[in-house]
Amino acid sequence: MVVGSLYYFLFCAYCYTIHPLFAFGYVIYPFFENVILLAAINWSWHAFVDPEDIDNEFAYSITLIHGTFNVLEEDFHVVHH
């Protein structure tokens, strides 16, 4: 992870030497846009709690009933947790 982070920061620095606006538009902005998108998806999948049974792990994540493509039982999202 350290090597990957170092590579990313060096790449950002290299892009910055080309032009600061290029570095922002090509590397930095897409990174933060991706983080926000993944955070929104993560929140929408895991934002629910059953008020009557707080320990109900099936309420913590969305469960699709009779989904079109149930690959590896992922319609029951709690399976991968």
The string of pLDDT tens digits covering residues 6-61 is 999 999 999 999 999 999 999 999 999 999 998 888 787 777 777 787 777 766 66
The pLDDT value given to residue 77: 66
The pLDDT value given to residue 32: 92
Every domain of the chain and the residues it spans: 1-36, 48-81
At position 58, the amino acid (one-letter code) is: F
The pLDDT value given to residue 30: 93
- Host H or E run for residue 38: helix 29-46
pTM for the model stands at 0.55
Report the distance separating Cα 46 and Cα 61, nearest Å.
5
The pLDDT value given to residue 3: 96
